[in-house]
Structure 1
Amino acid sequence: MTSIVNQQSKFSTKEQLRLNARKHVESGAVTQTYTLDRHKVIELLNAALASEWVCVLRYLRHYYMAAGLMMDPIKGEFLEHAKQEQQHADMLAERITQLGGAPDLNPAVFTERSPTEYHEGTDLQEMIKENLISERIVIDYYREVILYVGDQDTTTKRIIEHILAEEEDHADELANMLQGWTGK
């Protein structure tokens, strides 16, 4: 792959930009300046996608199964988190497609690929704890993805940073719930 950056000016000429755009038009949004291993990024994003779906399903399960004196506000949080996790899954699937990959939406492999686990929980406190554990897992996973893509894929980085911020909010809310439950 020839560098599109003109060594004297540090920028491509408009002619170089035009030539390269026409030469590789079938690559869509992925241009020659994309230096990461696309297949690795797609693999990381598909793992994140699986994790988001596992979280959607777990939060929905907890929403439907929550019972007890404190259930109404907690159920509301579970449902809201499920909706946000679905939005994250949509963002990840779109990015995978932009990178020329295929979002793997095979439910049979979600738990195999996902860094998070699917724990049903038997009571509200356990449900809160399991959701908090999963949020903590994805927080670490997304930080690792951000470090991997760095400034070489700023679009993926921005998407993951956005999702990470919401996951940190989820973890904070769940930690507060758990603290209120345990008094610690």
Structure 2
Amino acid sequence: MQQEQDETMNPAQPFLSDIETLRAKAREQMDKGPVTSAYGADLDRVLEVLNQSLATEIVCVLRYRQHHFAANGLNAGPVAAEFLEHANEEQQHADLFAARIVQLGGVPDLNPQTLTGRSHSQYVTSHELRAMIEEDLVAERIAIAAYTEIIAWLGDGDPTTRRIFEEVLATEEEHAEDMLSLLEQG
């Protein structure tokens, strides 16, 4: 019994490295910035997924802004204001993804020629206010589904990127709720 307790207290592989080992590892490959040997995700794939999500957010910014300016009719004022608020929040999401890409040593892909092909959602506009709201709701639902899958895929391999996606997901869920409420009011 005592031997079992000693083994759990002193496992063969310590939970934490000793300070000297941590210091030595920190000096190795300093050019990798925050990506250390403890990073548990496929870095190239994470960068690809982040760039796809960046494209998604940029497409959403553009669609919401177009809807903001194109909205017309008796009820258009408050809806247009909601579109603009969402566009600004989507831009914040894009900035979060771009900053994380750079932090991980990648390059944000903002090439307009390939943007819509990399985006999870589509750029669909309309002249009808209800159709605009419906398209924005569909796009939010696509982002929610994609980001939920990405969060599960990241798991504990890259907790920082996972937390960014979790933060963005919460806002996307609010956006979907807002769009649904607008549809129910109209």
Q: TM-score range by the shorter chain?
A: over 0.9
Alignment of 1:87-98 (within 5 A): 87-98=92-103
Q: Distance in 2 between matches of 1:87 and 1:169?
A: 15
1:129 aligned to 129, 134, 140, which one? 134
Once the two structures are TM-superposed, the CA of residue 134 in structure 1 deviates from its matched residue by 0.1
User: Which ranges of structure 2 fall in alignment gaps of 5 or more residues?
Assistant: 1-10
Q: What residue is the counterpart of 1:160 in the other structure?
A: 165
Q: Please state whether the residue corresponding to 1:107 is helix, strand or coil.
A: coil
Q: What residue is the counterpart of 2:89 in the other structure?
A: 84
1:144 aligned to 141, 146, 149, which one? 149
Q: Distance in 2 between matches of 1:178 and 1:7?
A: 60
Change (3 A) 1:7 1:57: farther
Q: Distance in 1 between matches of 2:160 and 2:99?
A: 11
**If you compute each CA radius of gyration, which structure gives the higher value, 1 or 2?**
2
Once the two structures are TM-superposed, the CA of residue 79 in structure 1 deviates from its matched residue by 0.2
Stretch deviating more after TM superposition (75-84 or 10-19): 10-19
Change (3 A) 1:31 1:7: farther
Q: Distance in 1 between matches of 2:57 and 2:46?
A: 16
Once the two structures are TM-superposed, the CA of residue 7 in structure 1 deviates from its matched residue by 4.1
TM-score (norm 1): 0.93
Once the two structures are TM-superposed, the CA of residue 9 in structure 1 deviates from its matched residue by 2.3
Matched, 1:19 2:24: yes
Q: Distance in 1 between matches of 2:125 and 2:14?
A: 59
Q: How many residues align?
A: 176
Q: What residue is the counterpart of 1:71 in the other structure?
A: 76
Change (3 A) 1:20 1:118: same
Once the two structures are TM-superposed, the CA of residue 111 in structure 1 deviates from its matched residue by 0.5
Change (3 A) 1:7 1:95: farther
Q: Distance in 1 between matches of 2:125 and 2:160?
A: 34
TM-score (norm 2): 0.92
Q: What residue is the counterpart of 2:108 in the other structure?
A: 103
Once the two structures are TM-superposed, the CA of residue 24 in structure 1 deviates from its matched residue by 1.5
Q: What residue is the counterpart of 2:60 in the other structure?
A: 55
Q: Distance in 1 between matches of 2:12 and 2:40?
A: 18
Q: Please state whether the residue corresponding to 1:151 is helix, strand or coil.
A: coil
Q: What residue is the counterpart of 1:3 in the other structure?
A: none
CA contact (8 A) 2:40 2:156 kept: no
In structure 1, give the amino acid aligned to 2:176: A
In structure 1, give the amino acid aligned to 2:27: R
State the identity as a percent: 48
Q: Distance in 2 between matches of 1:168 and 1:118?
A: 19
Q: Distance in 2 between matches of 1:63 and 1:8?
A: 58
2:43 aligned to 38, 44, 48, which one? 38
User: Which ranges of structure 1 fall in alignment gaps of 5 or more residues?
Assistant: 1-5
